[in-house]
Chains A and B, each alone.
Chain A
């Protein structure tokens, strides 16, 4: 398997199954798109959307189009470690066929467990071949966390190779690494307390290559393709935030772009999932919405071809694009509610306080009583004698 995705619409010719012979021999993206039946209009719409996503002026759209037209298809090696395939599902089933999907078809996806036809030795051979042919130029996409160097490598292996060894070997000659999904970016579910497999994120291990985190559980497909488009357009990686996420997509919080925000500002909240407030579409803060602390593009880009997103369907944001969101308190507890049992702590400390207070008080009382007992009277004459 070289480039195919199962989502290609019937009747369209498959892109040439060119062997990974280095970037020069590959067709340009523009050629591939035309071969896949993408109209000029559809392509320009995608470029305009990408420009706006990357917070560029609309005048940049033609520049993006021109750059993408002539861009050579980069080789992509996709490594799946401790993951649930949700990220791949998100990407391939986004809304078929979209330009985003075809953009992905036109990268040379040289290795991807779920999507490739090859198996066993042949599959691993494809990876090694792609690495050799495109050394220094290929992109590595990782989904899933992996057992760290100190953990038992047996928790996750592929073809008898530990995830750690495969990542380090594959990344050695890569141009950049894109960690797709919250597991690859931050450790995600496998790393959740108590982290039985000793899972770590890609950025914990890869220090000498640029790592771009595209977090989310799963991430928005447009964000994955947007990062690829930006790389193809500008030949460099996008501006990143403090978590190494592309600022263009993760620069604003869900809360700031939420269409239910006016209800928060007015103080109108749903208090249960079926009360009047919920039916009227009021703010979901009290039902546990983590929108205020979550940075992602769901509120603007939405899911399933722009049809809806969790908050629009009445579910509070879980904060899935933030690190350690699994351990950040109950999904249905308000953001201000601390994890752990505060009530119990308060009772224990309170009981200790009562005991100590009573002890201190009784001690003071007995001191006062004994002082009273030892009280000696003195007459004025005795005092005068002393002076």
Chain B
């Protein structure tokens, strides 16, 4: 198999397959959550559940002062690489072109050197997070193989993208093919691991906020 065959395989059938697994798996999980619904609350509402839900969905982006004091490293590094990941995923020109061709929607992108710098910071952040996880006795005790798996697939997709952009692996079709394959592994793993938090975190935040909003409590 030549590098070009590999690229066409990853861009063609493997991409379609990964997309199918991702869409099917993720929607099964989300729709199941929605269909299950919430237990009926017979108490008289003291506030708006919807407003409370939306408020908390947004508010959880702000680091909680208590958590920051207890684990500043996790808050700062976690935030940096999460933002970096989203920027590289959604604001890199080739990705915008891919999204445009798949979903038919597009938005402005960032210049390549900006995304490059963000990616480098993200890679460092992910490495720091891994080192901290391994060095911190409590974190290491709490870590499961799944935690390392999702760190691995996330790091790989960023690293291969950065290597392809800098053309460090040759020939380029091989570099690009490896990056696309890493992204496909990420997509396939996503619905069946903690990576579902990319979507379910917002469901959880909304439900939490809605419960408190209905009770008229700030959360």
Shortest distance in angstroms between A202's beta carbon and chain B's nearest beta carbon?
A: 16
Evaluate whether A255 and B172 lie within 8 angstroms (CB atoms) in the complex, with A286-B97, A350-B27 already known: yes
Q: Which of A269, A361, A365 contacts B93 (CB 8 A)?
A: A269
B10's nearest neighbour on chain A, judged by CB, is A338
Shortest distance in angstroms between A363's beta carbon and chain B's nearest beta carbon?
A: 9
B31 near A342: Cβ-Cβ < 8 Å? no
Provide the B28-58 mask, 1 if CB < 8 A to any CB of A, else 0.
Answer: 1111111111000000000000000000000
Report the bound CA distance from A292 to B102 in whole Å. 22
Q: Which of A267, A286, A336 contacts B111 (CB 8 A)?
A: A267
Shortest distance in angstroms between B172's beta carbon and chain A's nearest beta carbon?
A: 5
Report the bound CA distance from A222 to B181 in whole Å. 37
Evaluate whether A267 and B113 lie within 8 angstroms (CB atoms) in the complex, with A324-B4, A342-B101 already known: yes
Shortest distance in angstroms between B168's beta carbon and chain A's nearest beta carbon?
A: 12
Residues of B within 8 A of A337 (CB): 97-98, 101
Q: Which of B2, B19, B28, B35 contacts A243 (CB 8 A)?
A: B2
Residues of A within 8 A of B169 (CB): none
Shortest distance in angstroms between A195's beta carbon and chain B's nearest beta carbon?
A: 15
B15's nearest neighbour on chain A, judged by CB, is A338
A353 near B26: Cβ-Cβ < 8 Å? yes
Provide the A258-278 mask, 1 if CB < 8 A to any CB of B, else 0.
Answer: 000000111111000000000
Of the stretches A6-14, A54-62, A84-92, A326-334, the one at the interface is A326-334
Q: Which of B2, B8, B16 contacts A328 (CB 8 A)?
A: B8
B176's nearest neighbour on chain A, judged by CB, is A293
A292 near B11: Cβ-Cβ < 8 Å? no
The total of interchain contacts (Cβ-Cβ below 8 angstroms) comes to 151
Provide the B148-170 mask, 1 if CB < 8 A to any CB of A, else 0.
Answer: 00000000000000000001000
User: Using a Cβ–Cβ cut-off of 8 Å, how many residues does chain B contribute to the interface with A?
Assistant: 49
Provide the A313-348 mask, 1 if CB < 8 A to any CB of B, else 0.
Answer: 000000000111001110001111111101101101
A330's nearest neighbour on chain B, judged by CB, is B101
Report the bound CA distance from A353 to B35 in whole Å. 13
B2 near A339: Cβ-Cβ < 8 Å? no
B27 near A338: Cβ-Cβ < 8 Å? no
A358 within 8 A of B: yes
Report the bound CA distance from A208 to B152 in whole Å. 45
A267 near B114: Cβ-Cβ < 8 Å? yes
A337's nearest neighbour on chain B, judged by CB, is B101
Report the bound CA distance from A255 to B104 in whole Å. 27
Residues of B within 8 A of A168 (CB): none
Residues of B participating in the A interface, judged by any CB pair closer than 8 Å: 2-5, 7-8, 11-12, 15-16, 19-37, 93-95, 97-98, 101-104, 109-114, 167, 171-173, 176
Across the A-B interface, give the 8 residue pairs with the lowest CB-CB distance, nearest first: A361-B35, A267-B111, A357-B31, A353-B27, A336-B94, A334-B97, A349-B23, A349-B20
Sample (14) of A-B pairs whose CB atoms are under 8 Å apart = A242-B3, A242-B171, A253-B172, A295-B171, A323-B5, A336-B98, A337-B98, A339-B11, A346-B103, A349-B24, A354-B27, A357-B35, A362-B35, A364-B35
Residues of A participating in the B interface, judged by any CB pair closer than 8 Å: 241-243, 253, 255-256, 264-269, 285-286, 292-293, 295, 322-324, 327-329, 333-340, 342-343, 345-346, 348-350, 352-354, 356-358, 360-362, 364-365
